[in-house]
Structure 1
Amino acid sequence: MAMRPPPPLVDDLMREIFLRVPPHDPRALVRAAAGCRSWRGIIRDAEFAREYRKRHGAPPMLGFLFEELHYPRREFDDAYWVSHFVSTATFRPPPPACQARPYWHLLDSRHGLVLFYTPRMKADFVVCDLVTGNQWEIHASPKCADIMWWEWDEEDEELERIRCNAAVFCAKDRCDHLHCHGGPFRIALVGSEESELVAHATVYSSETGEWSDMIEVQTLDFILGPWSGHSAVVGNKVYVPCVESDSVVEYNMDEQKLSVIDSPDTNHGGYLMGVEDGMLLFAFVVQPRLYLSSMKIGPSGAVGWARQRIIELEPLLPRDVLLDKYMSVVGFAEGINVIFLSTATHGLYTIDLNSGEHKKVHDRIYGYYFEKVMPYMSFYTGAWGRLPTSHQVSRAVVGATTI
């Protein structure tokens, strides 16, 4: 006997329930879609997906990426870098995005995209969308050579790592960055020549397939690769740190202009982590405290330091973790205010700056510590419109942990 469809009032109630499902648990809605045809219709509706994203605001953190130096088993083989993705939600990217990537160097992650430097492939860069599985291969312009590559040194294990800093970001006009999948993107490179204290910058557009002309500005110190710090994007401006000074280089892509910003006059300085509430966020650990500083960004660029905070780590982390002498800030999830702390002996932790909740998200890697962690943040709502039949969804939910 066929089941009667539920009355419209029940559909309205279920819609409100589905809208309240936490965005870091996308598998829950896939399970719900297997319940009946009516529920599947609600979840597959494009308007429901838009309302869901708007209600939850900042995209959830579905996982994070990091690099590990892989030591060979045989004496005469070379060490090499491997990029990894670790899920922190009920989300698993489609292969090969979920697999370890040897010789792929992690550069940046933003707006649902991940940027890799791939020196052993035909292309110099690969941009990946971990939700859709799409990826784009990009060749560097010859004009980028002086800031991208080191001089040849057979004994330098950093040889295959890119020398400049990089940022990837959505280039869709007036985008709210809640659902950037499939839109145009840009890649900004900001770096220094080895022999000069001069910053150079150029930007790639996926719409034109071309790199802009290289521009430059005098700096106080060198700009090294992405392992030396994070980049930040505010509107049409990209920010990257200099290495041993506290200055930051601002790259205005629309005006093709470079500027140098001085650091705040604080006791502890800080490393550029990203953007918080539209301001540049700098962080530094002097145990047992976490120091945070924020810089306002105006229409013409950075305009001054707004606030400084000190967070006591003692009530947030286990005592044995607090005793680790090599604790450092290695990542920040923008929009949800989650910071990553690396330790030498206890692995990787996250601290939610809003709630104070802490969580261990990865064990210590033998012979290696986390230099930089890139959160991957995105809604998974685009896939709901492609949900299969009720029978197929049931089989997927029973037989796998993926969506």
Structure 2
Amino acid sequence: MPPMPPVLMDELVEEVLLRLPPEDPASFVRSSAACKPWRRILAAPRFRRRYREFHGTPPVLGFFKEDARFVPTTSTSTFLPVQPRLPSIYSMDSRHGRALFADFRGEDSAELVVLEPITGHQRRVPLPDLLASNFSAAVLCTAQGCDHHGCQGGHSLVAFVSTDEDRRVTSACLCSPETGAWSRSTILNHPNVESDGATGVLSVLVGDALYFNIGGILKYQLGTRCLSIFGKPINSQGCLMTAGNGELGFAAVVDDATNLTLWSMETGSEGAMGWEKRWVIDLQTLLPDGALLIRLLEREISCSSSTVVSGFAEGTQVIFVSTFVGCYMVDLKSGRARKVSSYSETLYPYTSFYIPAMEVASTGQGQ
């Protein structure tokens, strides 16, 4: 009878388990079922902390559609994050392990809801008085020293911007969900801006500023609470993103709905800022065969919809492109694309490390 194989040291097992793919949370459950020592390692706070440090960037687990429905893009289908289930809930933003929704149950009771989908923890704050037909909001973690690799609990901040088309002004303010109190509004006059009726548009956080694609590109400096506006690189529907250099970026589908074009905001030698075209990708080579064929029918039936960039996962190189055939998740780094949903003009990607809770069958969990 052959001898039993040597038992791996816990330290070696932990090194192996650290390499479980973040985009496959079900692998943790399968591994924990292998034996009690493995389950003990996976359940330990030490492992969870090391796992986030080892992988760095949280994976895209899915996205919230405009109606707040969560669509998984990974094996989270078995372990769906908590999501609101009221018909009056609409998605507004997602960042740092949090999702932000607007609840319009009634004009006098409209609220913003900050939800941590992994834990189910939520806070509600009333909408500010500067609500108009053209508005958006954003949420971010403000916990001191947080690297945003595993944001759960801690302090957060909500920013709200609103454009009044009749008065030709834009207002912005901040709120801590812990207190529910809104700051004094910052007001910007811009008589020449063209409002597009956007609500719940995508935002992006770059440094200490939030940017909103609403009536132009709005910049809200969080530290100084200064508000400014500047033009987009192209007068077309597009999506704000972070460029490869860590600066503000913009993505749009142009040239007869076949080219995905990426811009980044550059600063010249004299301090002047402007858009620079960085990358043009032919969608016919990037998306699967047939993804753009329906576009031919668009001309025949005079439909206004087209291929659009419908979302960007902040902190990653993942964007979402919607065509008549469906919505495709595109990894710009690897060049891979796959269909994840039906057509959607706007979606809110959700990124987070998701290690399912496990009961430890033995003592000594480790720290």
Name the TM-score, length of structure 1 as normaliser.
Answer: 0.76
2:184 match: 213
State whether structure 2 residue 146 is matched by structure 1 residue 172: no
1: CA distance between counterparts of 2:34 and 2:82?
A: 29
For residues 225 and 107 of structure 1, do their structure 2 counterparts lie closer, same or farther at Cα, with a shift above 3 Å needed? farther
For residues 218 and 224 of structure 1, do their structure 2 counterparts lie closer, same or farther at Cα, with a shift above 3 Å needed? same
1:330 match: 310
Deviation of residue 250 (structure 1)?
A: 0.9
Asked if structure 1 preserves the Cα contact closer than 8 Å seen for 2:82 and 2:118, the reply is no
Any residues of structure 2 matched to 1:191-206 within 5 Å, and which? 191-206=162-177
Asked if structure 2 preserves the Cα contact closer than 8 Å seen for 1:198 and 1:222, the reply is no
Residues 118-174 of structure 1 deviation map (CA, whole Å, 9 limit, x = unaligned): 010645111111111111111123x32xxx244xxxxxxxxxxxx311111111123
1:114 match: 99
State whether structure 2 residue 94 is matched by structure 1 residue 125: no
1: CA distance between counterparts of 2:314 and 2:232?
A: 21
- Equivalent position SS for 2:146: coil
For residues 114 and 14 of structure 1, do their structure 2 counterparts lie closer, same or farther at Cα, with a shift above 3 Å needed? same
Structure 2 residues without counterparts, runs of 5 or longer: 296-305, 363-367
Deviation of residue 227 (structure 1)?
A: 4.5
Which has the higher mean CA deviation after the structures are superposed, 315-324 or 43-52? 315-324
1: CA distance between counterparts of 2:267 and 2:87?
A: 38
1: CA distance between counterparts of 2:337 and 2:80?
A: 30
AA aligned opposite 2:221:
N
For residues 101 and 207 of structure 1, do their structure 2 counterparts lie closer, same or farther at Cα, with a shift above 3 Å needed? closer
1: CA distance between counterparts of 2:243 and 2:316?
A: 9
2: CA distance between counterparts of 1:251 and 1:339?
A: 23
Residue number among 336, 358, 364 corresponding to 2:337 in the alignment: 358
AA aligned opposite 2:321:
L
AA aligned opposite 2:223:
D
AA aligned opposite 2:13:
M
Deviation of residue 322 (structure 1)?
A: 2.0
2:347 match: 373
1: CA distance between counterparts of 2:345 and 2:283?
A: 20
Asked if structure 1 preserves the Cα contact closer than 8 Å seen for 2:114 and 2:124, the reply is yes
Residues 51-81 of structure 1 deviation map (CA, whole Å, 9 limit, x = unaligned): 21112121111111112xxxxxxxxxxxxxx
1:50 match: 49
Any residues of structure 2 matched to 1:1-400 within 5 Å, and which? 7=7, 9-67=8-66, 82-92=67-77, 97-98=82-83, 100-120=85-105, 122=109, 124-141=111-128, 143-144=129-130, 148-150=131-133, 163-219=134-190, 220-222=192-194, 227=199, 229-243=201-215, 247-264=216-233, 271-277=238-244, 278-286=246-254, 287-296=257-266, 303-305=273-275, 308-325=278-295, 326-344=306-324, 346-363=325-342, 369-381=343-355, 383-384=356-357, 387-390=358-361
Asked if structure 2 preserves the Cα contact closer than 8 Å seen for 1:270 and 1:282, the reply is no
1: CA distance between counterparts of 2:288 and 2:110?
A: 45
Question: Percent identity between the aligned chains?
Answer: 37
Asked if structure 1 preserves the Cα contact closer than 8 Å seen for 2:201 and 2:213, the reply is yes
1: CA distance between counterparts of 2:140 and 2:322?
A: 26
For residues 270 and 308 of structure 1, do their structure 2 counterparts lie closer, same or farther at Cα, with a shift above 3 Å needed? farther
For residues 262 and 164 of structure 1, do their structure 2 counterparts lie closer, same or farther at Cα, with a shift above 3 Å needed? same
Structure 1 residues without counterparts, runs of 5 or longer: 68-81, 151-162, 364-368, 392-403
The aligned length equals 341
- Equivalent position SS for 1:164: strand
Asked if structure 2 preserves the Cα contact closer than 8 Å seen for 1:270 and 1:292, the reply is no
For residues 65 and 249 of structure 1, do their structure 2 counterparts lie closer, same or farther at Cα, with a shift above 3 Å needed? same
AA aligned opposite 2:287:
L
- Equivalent position SS for 1:42: helix
2: CA distance between counterparts of 1:26 and 1:139?
A: 35
AA aligned opposite 1:90:
S
Asked if structure 1 preserves the Cα contact closer than 8 Å seen for 2:98 and 2:114, the reply is yes
Asked if structure 2 preserves the Cα contact closer than 8 Å seen for 1:230 and 1:274, the reply is no
Asked if structure 2 preserves the Cα contact closer than 8 Å seen for 1:36 and 1:390, the reply is no
- Equivalent position SS for 2:284: coil
2: CA distance between counterparts of 1:97 and 1:221?
A: 39
For residues 98 and 195 of structure 1, do their structure 2 counterparts lie closer, same or farther at Cα, with a shift above 3 Å needed? closer
For residues 222 and 61 of structure 1, do their structure 2 counterparts lie closer, same or farther at Cα, with a shift above 3 Å needed? same
2:303 match: none
Deviation of residue 390 (structure 1)?
A: 4.9
- Equivalent position SS for 2:278: strand
- Equivalent position SS for 2:248: strand
Asked if structure 2 preserves the Cα contact closer than 8 Å seen for 1:21 and 1:28, the reply is yes
For residues 302 and 190 of structure 1, do their structure 2 counterparts lie closer, same or farther at Cα, with a shift above 3 Å needed? farther
- Equivalent position SS for 1:40: helix
Asked if structure 1 preserves the Cα contact closer than 8 Å seen for 2:288 and 2:337, the reply is no
